Amino acid sequence: MKKAFRAKRQRSGAVPTATERWCRLAARLVNPIALGSLAFGLSACALFDFGPPRPEDYPVKGIDVSYYQDDINWRSVVADNTAFAWLKATEGGDWYDPKFDANWYGAAMAGLPRGAYHFWYFCRPASEQVNWFLQHVPYDPYALPPVLDIEWVASKTCPGHPPREEIIPEVRTWLDAIERYYGKRPIIYTSISFYNDRLRGAFPGYFIWIASYKGHPVVRDPSLRWNFWQHTEAGRVAGIRGRVDRNVFNGSVREWQAFLEGRLVPSD
C-alpha cells in the first residue's frame, strides 16, 4: 500500500489453501527419508524446484486503492474478476484520502465487498489515530473489516524506528477501539520485515495481510502465517487507468464466503 509518505481457521471446511495444496503435493513427490520430517512441513516448501503457487492460481483476487488511482469505474473493476477492495481512508491523525468517499460509495453501488484502511503514523498517539479514523469512515455492517497498514517508511517529519515495546501497546489500542466501534476485528497489513521485527507473536487471532513483491511469502519466510498477499503494486485492472496494488486471499471460494460472513477464524 505504501506509495510515498503523506501521499499516498479454526478453518471452516476441509478445502486446503493454494499454498497447502502445493506443499502437500511437494511432500508426496520427494523422498521423506531423504528430507526427514522437514519434507512434510511448510518450511520445506521453499526447497522444491517447481515453485509455489502463482498469484493467478488463487481463486479470490482483489485490490487496494487510494487517490493515486484517480476516478475508478467500479462496475468495470467488478467485471474484471475482482472480489474485494480496500480503500485508503486516513493517515495518522490529520490526513484524509480525497477519493475515499467516492470509492466507498462507488464500490458499494457496484456490489463489490469493500473496506477502509488506515496508514499508521508513528509520531501520533493511537487515541488520535482512532478518533481520526472514526470521523471519516462510516459504520457499515456489510463492509469488510477495517485494516491497519503499519510499515516502515522514510519520513522527514517522523524519523526513527520505535522499539517493539512502544509499538505493540499503541497498535493494540487502535485495534481494540476500532473493533469495538465497527464490530469486526481489524486486519493487520504489513511487510515481512516489519512483521518479524516488531509484530511477530503479538497479535494471535488476527488476519494478516502481507506485502511481498519479490516472491511468494512462503519462499521468503516459510514460518509466516498469512491470509492475504499483496503481490504487486503495478497491477492492471479494468476500470482503473493506471497501476494498482493487486492481492489474493489465501483460501478457497468457500472459505472466502465464510470470511465475508464472519465465520472464518484465522489459524495461529
- Residue 46 pLDDT greater than 80, yes or no: no
- Does the residue 116 lie in any domain? yes
Residues 125 and 31 both lie in one domain? no
Residues 34 and 126 both lie in one domain? no
- Does the residue 9 lie in any domain? no
Distance, in Å, from the CA atom of 16 to the CA atom of 202, rounded to the nearest integer, reads: 26
Percent of the chain with pLDDT over 70: 81
SS3 112: coil
Residue 97's CB is within 10 A of a number of other CB atoms, namely 24
Residues 128 and 179 both lie in one domain? yes
Distance, in Å, from the CA atom of 39 to the CA atom of 28, rounded to the nearest integer, reads: 9
Q: Please state the pTM of the whole predicted model.
A: 0.85
Distance, in Å, from the CA atom of 118 to the CA atom of 92, rounded to the nearest integer, reads: 8
Under the banding of pLDDT at 50, 70 and 90, the label for residue 10 is very low
- Does the residue 188 lie in any domain? yes
Catalytic (active site) residue 151? yes
Those residues with Cβ within 8 angstroms of residue 176's Cβ, 6 or more apart along the chain or in another chain: none
Residues 49 and 63 both lie in one domain? no
Residue among 80, 220, 207 at smallest CA distance from 72:
80
Residues 139 and 245 both lie in one domain? yes
Residues 203 and 108 both lie in one domain? yes
- Does the residue 193 lie in any domain? yes
- DSSP string of 2-59? -SSTTT----SSSPPPHHHHHHHHHHHHS-HHHHGGGGGSGGGGGG-TT----GGGSS
Question: What pLDDT, on the 0 to 100 scale, is given for residue 28?
Answer: 42
The number of distinct structural domains making up the chain is: 2
Those residues with Cβ within 8 angstroms of residue 95's Cβ, 6 or more apart along the chain or in another chain: 6
- Residue 36 pLDDT greater than 90, yes or no: no
Q: Could you report the per-residue pLDDT of 162-171, keeping only the tens digit for each?
A: 999 999 999 9
Residues 189 and 211 both lie in one domain? yes
- Residue 48 pLDDT greater than 70, yes or no: no
Residues 207 and 231 both lie in one domain? yes
Indicate which CATH number applies to the domain containing 88: 3.20.20.80
Host domain of residue 249 = 58-260
Residues 48 and 130 both lie in one domain? no
E strand segments, 146-218: 147-149, 187-191, 208-211
Q: Which of 20, 80, 151, 179 is catalytic?
A: 151
Q: Could you report the per-residue pLDDT of 174-186, keeping only the tens digit for each?
A: 999 999 999 999 9
Catalytic (active site) residue 64? yes
What does DSSP assign to residue 68? G
- DSSP string of 133-152? HHHHS---TTSPPPEEE---
Alpha carbon of residue 266 to chain centroid: 13
Residues 29 and 97 both lie in one domain? no
Residues 111 and 160 both lie in one domain? yes
